[in-house]
């Protein structure tokens, strides 16, 4: 055996120590591997637990924040709800105590009405809800209300204001002023109306209007005969001349004067003279057309404007009027047995184209009639 072979093969006890060390190294390597595996698993497990822990913390924070937000929203909602409730109570209090009637109409039906509206129309509030809104207005005025509703629903008018006659449950008629507009409720349009009972105001306005008309009539009427006075004649003759100029048609002026009127007053007294004037005025008014304008021009002198009447027709009318007046004068104690009148006629445009010229021409013709014996008709000459 060579020296190399002897070196490669350890001797007895030394070989045993080497094997033991080799086994120990293997065992330790296994232990190290197990420890490394365990450490690795531990590290992996710790990383997973940390991630779960971190995620849990984040979720809990989000939940906490969301919970806080929800709690804040709930508190805010409670505040809003309470405010709305209080506002609704105040609104209902104001509406119920309002001096005006308030209604809401949807789909041609009253869906809300306050107590004032019900009292205004003499019915109970529960009777109003669900009723036809047209039932509360006079039949002759319902078309006005229907038209206002149509215009609001179509968008032609955002708001309206008008006065119509209302019908109470007991049948009495009241005057109602309506203010209305449109409100969007969801996908529908609701008509909101405020109604005021203005019966007293309308009555007062009518009385004032009647008084004004009376004062106007008094300003243009002769108080003794009831005919128009000179002031009215001066106003209307201008209009009639302008109309005749536009149309190209004639306008005749008839002037009448009671014969010997001064003698009637002197003989029978002024009271009898007033009776003669009144009867003459009535007979003159009844003898002409409604379109003719009859005026007491002053004293015992009267004028009649006859639109669209030519000279020949005017003369024939004047002769008829003269005869009618003479036969129509009343007879009786304290009155003259006969009363006559003389007439003068002028015509636009033949005898003049303005008020003063026509009056002067008619007066000249009247003077000629009196100078020719009275109780006659004379026409102006060109």
- Strand duo 301-307 + 188-197: pairing: unpaired
DSSP SS3 for 105: strand
The confidence score (pLDDT) of residue 182 equals 85
The confidence score (pLDDT) of residue 329 equals 67
Whether 276 has a pLDDT exceeding 80, the answer reads yes
The confidence score (pLDDT) of residue 152 equals 85
Catalytic residue list contains 209: no
The confidence score (pLDDT) of residue 13 equals 54
Alpha carbon distance 85, 300 (integer Å): 82
Superfamily (CATH H level) for 221-379: Reverse transcriptase/Diguanylate cyclase domain (3.30.70.270)
pLDDT range class, residue 277, cuts 50, 70, 90: very high
The predicted-structure confidence for 81-114, as pLDDT tens digits, reads as follows 665 555 544 555 444 555 788 888 988 899 888 8
DSSP SS3 for 354: coil
Kindly report whether the peptide bond that precedes residue 349 is cis, defined as omega within 30 degrees of 0. Answer: yes
100 with 196: CB under 8 angstroms?
yes
Q: Out of 146, 300, 308, 319, which one is annotated catalytic?
A: 300
Alpha carbon distance 63, 242 (integer Å): 93
Alpha carbon distance 109, 100 (integer Å): 20
Of all residues in the chain, what percent carry a pLDDT higher than 70? 74
What does the DSSP assignment read for 224-276?
Answer: TT-SB-HHHHHHHHHHHHHHHHHHT--EEEEEEEETTHHHHHHHH-HHHHHHH
Count of residues in the chain: 382
The predicted-structure confidence for 56-89, as pLDDT tens digits, reads as follows 556 566 656 766 776 677 677 666 666 555 554 4
The confidence score (pLDDT) of residue 362 equals 96
Of all residues in the chain, what percent carry a pLDDT higher than 90? 44
The phi, psi pair for 300, rounded to 5°, reads: -100, 20
341 with 375: CB under 8 angstroms?
yes
The CATH number that domain 101-198 falls under is: 3.30.450.20
Alpha carbon distance 75, 208 (integer Å): 61
Alpha carbon distance 112, 106 (integer Å): 9
């Amino acid at each position: 055996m060579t020296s190399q072979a002897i070196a490669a093969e350890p001797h007895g006890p030394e070989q045993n120590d080497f094997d033991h060390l080799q086994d120990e190294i293997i065992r330790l390597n296994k232990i190290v591997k197990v420890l490394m595996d365990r450490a690795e698993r531990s590290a992996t497990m710790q990383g997973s637990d940390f991630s779960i822990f971190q995620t849990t913390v984040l979720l809990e924070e989000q939940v906490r924040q969301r919970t806080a937000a929800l709690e804040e929203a709930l508190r805010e909602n409670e505040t809003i709800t309470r405010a709305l409730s209080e506002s609704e109570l105040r609104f209902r209090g104001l509406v119920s105590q309002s001096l005006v009637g308030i209604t809401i109409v949807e789909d041609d039906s009253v869906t809300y009405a306050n107590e004032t509206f019900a009292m205004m129309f003499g019915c109970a509030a529960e009777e109003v809800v669900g009723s036809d809104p047209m039932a509360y207005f006079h039949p002759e005025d319902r078309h006005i209300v229907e038209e206002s509703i149509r215009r609001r629903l179509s968008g032609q008018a955002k708001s309206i204001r008008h006065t119509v006659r209302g019908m109470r449950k007991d049948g009495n008629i009241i005057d109602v002023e309506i203010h209305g507009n449109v409100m969007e409720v969801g996908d529908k349009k609701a008509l909101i109306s405020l109604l005021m009972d203005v019966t007293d105001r309308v009555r007062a306005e009518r009385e004032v209007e009647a008084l004004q008309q009376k004062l106007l009539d008094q300003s243009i009427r002769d108080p003794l005969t009831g005919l128009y006075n000179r002031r009215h004649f001066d106003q209307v003759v201008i209009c009639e001349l302008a109309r005749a100029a536009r149309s190209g048609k004639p306008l005749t002026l008839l002037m009448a004067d009671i014969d010997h009127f001064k003698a009637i007053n002197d003989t029978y007294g002024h009271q009898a003279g007033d009776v003669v004037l009144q009867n003459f005025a009535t007979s003159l008014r009844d003898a002409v057309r409604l379109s003719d304008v009859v005026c007491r021009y002053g004293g015992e002198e009267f004028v009649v404007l006859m639109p669209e009447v030519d000279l020949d027709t005017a003369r024939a009318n004047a002769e008829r009027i003269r005869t009618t007046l003479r036969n129509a004068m009343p007879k009786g104690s304290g009155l003259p047995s006969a009363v006559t009148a003389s007439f003068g006629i002028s015509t636009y445009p033949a005898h003049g184209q303005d008020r003063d010229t026509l009056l002067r021409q008619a007066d000249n013709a009247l003077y000629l009639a009196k100078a020719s014996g009275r109780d006659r008709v004379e026409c102006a000459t060109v």
